Amino acid sequence: MTSDMKTAGLALTLVFAGLIAAASASAETSQGDHREPDAAVLSRIRSTAMSSDWAWDELETLTDTIGPRLSGSPQLSAAIDRFAHDLRALGAEVTLQPSKVDHWVRGESQAELVGYPGQPPGVTQRLHLTSLGGSSATAAGGIEANVIVVRDFGDLHAHATEARGAIVLFDARFDQGLADSGQAGPAYGQAVQYRGKGPSEAASLGAAAALVRSVGGADYRLPHTGLTQWSDHQAPIPAAALSSEDTDLILRLAARGPVRMRLLVEAQTLPDADSFNVIADWPGYESPNEYVVVSGHLDSWDLGTGATDDGVGVVAAAGVIQALQHLKLHARRTIRFIGWTDEEFGGRGADTYFTSVGPAISDHCAAIESDAGAGRPVGLLAAVPKESLAALRPVTDALAPVGATVILRQDRAVGTDIAPLQAAGVPGFAPFVDTRRYFDYHHTAADTLDKVDPHYLQSQVAAMSVLAYFLADRPDCLPRYPIKSER
Ligand SMILES: [Zn+2]
């Protein structure tokens, strides 16, 4: 970060020199307008966003009135209809882009310990768990099997014989210390691999079911759901996230002797459902067929109401259109809001959009996605070449009054839905938000509206609005910056 900031400072001088040159060039030639977006305009956009309650009202509707928005659910359809309506009401050109999505239904999940060392007669212990997206069901009355605890994939394979017919429990702890130091993403990544691939690995060894220690920092015995993925042609097994506290309980008991569990999971996968990406264009005055995408995902997990994942992101992105509508302001290029469908179930909405773009990818100037929760925005993540950083200085200048001044350069996808666009070279951006407590609520029943600070939401709208307008209004797009696809 330090060297990037130095580069930014050095190149800033060059940008100002360029600005003066561009201004005098356009004075000399009457052809075209080569000015950079005006600082006063960027400030007005920020102030408008900071004084608007539109995004908050949308979030309240999304979470309190509509509720959880799982792929294939009637709530997701209701959210899509509502967004299309509200963006049309702002005067945006709204299209619903059809996309098939997964349709998985949770049902009940229950577990109890029915055998363990020192167990008093007639006593069992109820556990707190929730099934993982993509899990299959147990037999109607549940299953009963011994539990084996493994630390990682190597440990699983070292216990391949015991895994057959057993309930395998992956004990990978979310490193809250890492999250506290500002590295919540890597903390999540290193634990979530077992949620993503653990059940599949266990199934390949003939396990009866697989459990993972909940991925997240909360210590309120709350299970965190999420997607688990199966290899092609693999028959899914029952898979669930067990609360961190109950994982610790089993670890303690298993240290004393065999532990036996009864497990009931009712999950089922239905045929694919019809869904839509919501696309709302705020047309450019000069190049309406060139785009700056600003986005978040409309779907959510089903335990909470998807307030921070990703209600905040999707309403903040839509808030960009509202801020510009309020100011009656259009940029050179079209600012395209996208409310993605199916992010949580693998991103089929994003794949549909990317496929539909085809060669027109060259008309995508930049892509912004907010999907990191409701923490305080401290700046922007920017997947751009080092040389582009200086050009972004007017954005952080305009955002200084809300404290969003840091640009952290990235060489990776900054959002799962824009990852295919980024892989094709489109510069990618995201609000840089404080995620230290994000994984306390993420994918749990506690992801509800009260976790959102209205002021931080306004700050996110401000950050995305200023950035989107700036990128869409510059004479040129920033250089392409293909990142390695992580999907
Ligand atoms: Zn999300």
Q: What is the mean pLDDT of the chain?
A: 93
In angstroms, what is the span from residue 76 Cα to ligand 1's centroid? 14
pLDDT on residue 32: 59
In angstroms, what is the span from residue 305 Cα to ligand 1's centroid? 12
- 455, two tokens: 């002021």
The pLDDT of residue 20 is above 60: no
* Residue 28: exposure state from Cβ atoms within 10 A (0-12, 13-18, ≥19): exposed
pLDDT on residue 16: 37
pLDDT on residue 486: 60
In angstroms, what is the span from residue 447 Cα to ligand 1's centroid? 11
The pLDDT of residue 286 is above 60: yes
Helices (H), 380-453: 393-399, 419-423, 438-441
The pLDDT of residue 22 is above 90: no
The answer to whether 462 and 50 have CB atoms below 8 angstroms apart is: yes
pLDDT on residue 484: 86
Catalytic residue check, 93? no
pLDDT tens by residue, 182-240: 999 999 999 999 999 999 999 999 999 999 999 998 789 999 999 999 999 999 999 99
In angstroms, what is the span from residue 310 Cα to ligand 1's centroid? 5
- 436, two tokens: 């230290």
pLDDT on residue 11: 39
pLDDT on residue 475: 96
pLDDT tens by residue, 228-279: 999 999 999 999 999 999 999 999 999 999 999 999 999 999 999 999 999 9
The pLDDT of residue 147 is above 80: yes
Q: Are strands 268-282 and 333-340 parallel, antiparallel or unpaired?
A: antiparallel
What pTM value is reported for the model?
A: 0.92
**Which listed residue (36, 266, 290, 343) is catalytic?**
343
pLDDT tens by residue, 108-119: 999 999 999 999
Per DSSP, 15 falls in state: H
| pLDDT cut 70: percent of the chain above it | 93
In angstroms, what is the span from residue 244 Cα to ligand 1's centroid? 22
The pLDDT of residue 366 is above 80: yes
In angstroms, what is the span from residue 143 Cα to ligand 1's centroid? 33
| pLDDT cut 90: percent of the chain above it | 91
pLDDT on residue 12: 38
- 21 band by pLDDT with thresholds 50, 70 and 90: very low
In angstroms, what is the span from residue 371 Cα to ligand 1's centroid? 5
Distance between CA 279 and CA 94 in Å, rounded?
6
The pLDDT of residue 91 is above 50: yes
pLDDT on residue 217: 87
* SS3 per residue for 265-301: ECCEEEEEEEEEEEEEEECCCCEEEEEEEEEEECCCC
pLDDT tens by residue, 404-449: 999 999 999 999 999 999 999 999 999 999 999 999 999 999 999 9
In angstroms, what is the span from residue 432 Cα to ligand 1's centroid? 14
The answer to whether 71 and 228 have CB atoms below 8 angstroms apart is: no
Torsion of CA 395, 400, 404, 405, to 10 degrees: 70
In angstroms, what is the span from residue 298 Cα to ligand 1's centroid? 9
Torsion of CA 417, 267, 225, 458, to 10 degrees: 50
pLDDT on residue 244: 97
In angstroms, what is the span from residue 378 Cα to ligand 1's centroid? 19
Average pLDDT score over residue span 395-401: 98
- 36 band by pLDDT with thresholds 50, 70 and 90: confident
In angstroms, what is the span from residue 418 Cα to ligand 1's centroid? 12
pLDDT tens by residue, 304-335: 999 999 999 999 999 999 999 999 999 999 99
- 476 band by pLDDT with thresholds 50, 70 and 90: very high
The answer to whether 385 and 410 have CB atoms below 8 angstroms apart is: no
